[in-house]
Structure formats: C-alpha cells, structure tokens
A and B are shown apart, each in its own frame.
Chain A
C-alpha cells in the first residue's frame, strides 16, 4: 500500500502514538547532537541530521537489567524481569543503515538460545524507515550492498518529496496495520516528485572477495599497520548499529542488586582476558583483526549476513582517523 503524509501530519502521528501510550523513538536534539531518543511530542522530531548513535538501543539497550536478587536470613531470591516493562514501541524516521541492522541482529539473538530481551523488543516495535536524501563523506551504505532508499527491516518506509511531505510505503503487515489505524493522517498517492536519493561516493565492494581474502589472511601485515593507530577506545563498537558484544555484570551489594547486560567491545584490551591473566587477544592488532573478521567473515560464515550497514559512524567518531571503508577498499583491491 502506498500513501503520502505531510510533515505536520507526521508530527501529529507521533502525538497520537504517544497519547495511545506507545513509546515513540526518533531523532531528537540532545544538546549539540541528534540522538534516537523517546519523543514526548511530534514537535521534538529532528529530521536534519543522522543521529550520532545508531538506533540499536531500541532493541539492545546500552545497559539493561536481566534479573534482580535479594539475600536475607531465608536465603537468596532471584526475581525475573517483568515483560510488561517492555512497551509497545514505534521507531520513527530511522535511517536505512540503522533499520537494516535489526534483521541482521535477529540472527545472533534468535539462533539456538533465544534472547527474549532483544526479540520481545523487536516484536513490540514497528519501524518507520526514512530514505536519505543527503550523504556525507563517511557514508558508504552502497558499498556494502544497501542503499539510501533501502527498505530492509522497515515496516513503513518514508521517502521525502519535493513539496516537503513524504511518500509512505507499507512494507510489512505491521506497517499496513499502523497505516490502517491512522488512515486519517495519510492521503492517497503523491502529486509531488520524490527527492533524489543520496549518493554515497564509495562504489559497491566485492564482499565475497573480501570474505575470501579474510579467510586466508588471518596473519597479515595489514592488521599491524591499522592497529598501530587504534587506541582501543571502543567508540566504533558503541556507535555501530550492528556491533552487539556485551558484558554481564552484577551491580549492587551482597544483600540486593541487579544483574545487568551492557554493551562491550572486542577492541577493549581486557575483553578476552582470563582471570588467570592469560589473554588470547592481548594486543591491539589481534583485536582490530577480530573486529573486521567478525563483521565480514565470521558472521557471514555463520549467518550469511554482514555486521556492517555502511552508516559511517565509526569513521566519523574514530579519534585516530581509522576508516573502515578504506580498509575494505584496500582488501578489495588486493
């Protein structure tokens, strides 16, 4: 189904969803940045720039409680997390590079053991994607097989029009349902033209060739070369829509507290450190290698998907100027 919606009505839709008790997450001004954050009204929607952090927090929060415990004279009591605490959510105006990461992450969180913390949020979230009409130097979604108009992972998809409104395509049944429930805010087919899609400069890479090179170059001078600069700060992993390494820690005392799952990064020096002091990935080159291998080989071997959507956030944020797209280009040219 295809409809159109004006920008005021898009903001009105957010107001309506909020009044229905849904959690609405979208790009919002946060100090000098834009972040995907809960919106209390449509007016807060900030469509000007790509949010600094990815949208993965909608499904995989930076830190979340997975159980609480209490200890007294009777013994230990462990309390599960209340499923009602996860609200029905609409993620609005999420960029294709952010949205495409959600189905990629479904694989790891649903294979074998099912991580309901992630999957329940996925089930309870409707995603309204938004096409990109602008790209900057760091964007490279087209290089990894996506595009600024990619609908992968979206339930509804908005494409900006020349008159300031949006063409709206329902991609899934969830999207159809949301359209049907708020039909009064949408109108029929567009009269205005869609704005041309953004054009990231980096062309399509041969990802299979890259995987094959990684397959045979676990040992290669390239890793030393790049990691000589890497500070192991983890910014790339925290900003990445597809990075999902996590830690599990107890916070609290002996009497009561919570066990939490929180983001971690394979670039951190102690990530693989054993209690004995032995550390299998004890130097930065092996950690940076793991990052690239995980994204472009291991995950492909296991789930036939890549842990990179070309959003460019790691490129923009790296304090030492490491550019993953350049690394991929270099491997691609070998």
Chain B
C-alpha cells in the first residue's frame, strides 16, 4: 500500500521446483522464493501455516510441511478438492505461485527437549506433523524415543511413502503404519486397523512423553481417550485445528472457535485448550 512492504495481503512469489504426487489427489510442491533476499530471510517455526495463491483462483491455507531446519525452500501438501486447490494442481514445475506467511503459532519445540515424542497422524494430516518430525530428526540428540503412528484409509491414501520407508529403516525412530480394515493389499507389510486401536496396541510410555496428534476430527475424537488411558495428561497432548481461513491475520472473522482465533491463537493447541473451547469446530 504505502510501500511494497506495508501491504499485508501481498504474497511473495515462489517457483515450483518439484512436484510429488503423494496419492491420486494429494500433491506436494517444493517452492523456492524468487526474491533472493526472501529466500535467505524466510524463517518459520514448525506448526505455522501460509496462504498459497493460484493467481486467478485465489488463496488456500495449508501448513508449511517442510522442516524449518531445511533451508532454501518450503514445501506444502494439499488435496485438490476446491477451486483454488484444483487451480494449484494444474500448475507445473517452473510455474509461479504466491505465498503469504508464515502465520499462526507453532509447536513449542524447546519444551520438548529431553522428552520422548509420539506422533499420531491420519491421512492427509501427516504434513502438519512432518515439519516437526524432520526437525526433531535433524536435532535427534535433543529428544528421547520417537514413535510415529500413521494410518490412512488405504495404502494408496498414505502420503510421503518414500519418507515412511526412510523412517522404517532408521533405528532411532519407531514407525507403526496402518491402514483401515479392507484398505490393504496382499503385499501390505504394516498393521491393519484404525489409528486409535493401533496406537493402543503400540502402547507408547506416557511418562516424560509428548503426544502430537493430527487427523480428521473423527480420528482425534477416538485418539484422545486412548492417550488418556495410556496416561497422557491433556497438557502433554498437542494437536492442530484446521479451520477455514481467508486473511490468516486475525481480521476477517472466519476461523474463530468461540473467542479463540485459530489463525492467531493457533493452529497449534494442547488438548487441554481444545477441550476448553466451545465445541464448534
């Protein structure tokens, strides 16, 4: 507005450097900012999100799915379900998209130092945790045991398959992958069962452990009691709320749950905070 830096709605331009088709309708973009100064200075914390522009269609909100420890690019992962995501999906390597951000709060990673971590994710909800998983793996010595329980409806719906393989091969991470009953092929080498059930079987120790849960509402609904049963307190469980957003800046009035504005007060919340909110999300 008054000068280039003052228009809070103005996105930075980024080039699509890589495209990975995670599933039939979920795609990962690796993005490199076109402005060298932005490329150098863009910093974010795991858990934060951005607004991604397909010029002509609008903006869509996703978390930043790459780790803050990986410099020079950011990644986002989205399912093509609406006007903007369909437009994003039609773009190719070398095309330009807009990025505004980073916005919102983040996982308080410093508070996790010295603790065990249990990541529990379902379907397309792995990206908001993947940013933190890689940061924790890059800072591996700062954490105790790391367990990842990840499931999807079918094998085909699992995202980051190449990274699941990598985590499976590491001896400093325990990956438990699962698909819903009926979602497996004869070659499937993981578990079969719903995420909460498989989590209960995996039985991570609750003492000195932080649980990080991200998934569809139905999965979270059934996962929280399991964690409680395993001995996790509500303050030791973190999740992210994915409300519809437009501005990302605490102004447009769309993402509030009661007087909590997900774009500013979230998207990362403890289970204790989520339980204290009005049930309107």
Q: How far is the CB of A279 from chain B (nearest CB, A)?
A: 9
Q: Name B50-86 residues within 8 Å CB distance of A.
A: 53, 55-60, 81-82, 84-85
Instruction: Give the interface SS of chain B, mostly helix, strand, loop or mixed.
Output: loop
Does B253 contact A266, Cβ atoms closer than 8 Å? yes
Could you say which of A112, A218, A248, A276 contacts B246, with CB atoms under 8 Å apart? A248
- The residue of chain A having its C-beta at the shortest distance from the C-beta of B82 within the complex is A275
Query: Is A43 part of the binding interface, using a Cβ–Cβ cutoff of 8 Å?
Result: no
A261 to B280, CA, bound (A): 26
Stretch from B3-11, B144-152, B195-203, B266-274 contacting the other chain: B3-11
Number of interface residues of A (CB under 8 A): 55
- The residue of chain B having its C-beta at the shortest distance from the C-beta of A108 within the complex is B251
Per-residue 0/1 for A247-272: is the Cβ within 8 Å of any B Cβ (1 yes, 0 no)?
A: 11110111101010100101000011
Query: Is B243 part of the binding interface, using a Cβ–Cβ cutoff of 8 Å?
Result: yes
A173 to B161, CA, bound (A): 64
Query: Is B226 part of the binding interface, using a Cβ–Cβ cutoff of 8 Å?
Result: no
Does A78 contact B98, Cβ atoms closer than 8 Å? yes
Does A280 contact B251, Cβ atoms closer than 8 Å? no
Query: Is A273 part of the binding interface, using a Cβ–Cβ cutoff of 8 Å?
Result: yes
Q: How far is the CB of B106 from chain A (nearest CB, A)?
A: 15
Query: Is B252 part of the binding interface, using a Cβ–Cβ cutoff of 8 Å?
Result: yes
**Given A250-B58, A298-B256, also A272-B10 (CB < 8 A):** no
Q: How far is the CB of A82 from chain B (nearest CB, A)?
A: 9
Could you say which of A108, A113, A254 contacts B8, with CB atoms under 8 Å apart? A113
**Given A76-B55, A78-B98, A116-B6, also A244-B253 (CB < 8 A):** yes
Does B250 contact A272, Cβ atoms closer than 8 Å? no
Note all chain A residues with C-beta closer than 8 A to B19: none
Could you say which of B58, B249, B280 contacts A112, with CB atoms under 8 Å apart? B249
Report which residue of A115, A120, A252, A255 has the largest number of chain B beta carbons within 10 angstroms of its beta carbon.
A115
A236 to B146, CA, bound (A): 52
Number of interface residues of B (CB under 8 A): 45
Q: How far is the CB of B98 from chain A (nearest CB, A)?
A: 7
Query: Is A274 part of the binding interface, using a Cβ–Cβ cutoff of 8 Å?
Result: yes
Could you say which of B1, B58, B244 contacts A116, with CB atoms under 8 Å apart? B1
- The residue of chain B having its C-beta at the shortest distance from the C-beta of A71 within the complex is B55
Does A76 contact B13, Cβ atoms closer than 8 Å? yes
A293 to B217, CA, bound (A): 25
A80 to B11, CA, bound (A): 10
A317 to B62, CA, bound (A): 38
A261 to B246, CA, bound (A): 10
Could you say which of B3, B10, B217, B251 contacts A115, with CB atoms under 8 Å apart? B251
Query: Is B182 part of the binding interface, using a Cβ–Cβ cutoff of 8 Å?
Result: no
Stretch from B133-141, B183-191, B257-265 contacting the other chain: B257-265
7 closest A-B pairs (Cβ-Cβ)? A275-B82, A245-B253, A116-B1, A76-B96, A298-B259, A113-B249, A69-B55
A-B contact pairs, 17 of them (CB 8 A): A67-B7, A75-B96, A108-B251, A113-B251, A116-B6, A247-B246, A250-B57, A250-B58, A257-B56, A261-B9, A266-B253, A274-B243, A274-B244, A276-B81, A278-B217, A281-B280, A297-B259
Residue ranges of A at the interface with B (Cβ–Cβ < 8 Å): 66-67, 69, 71, 75-76, 78, 80-81, 83, 86, 108-109, 111-117, 120, 218, 244-250, 252-255, 257, 259, 261, 264, 266, 271-276, 278, 280-281, 286, 290, 293-294, 297-298, 301-302
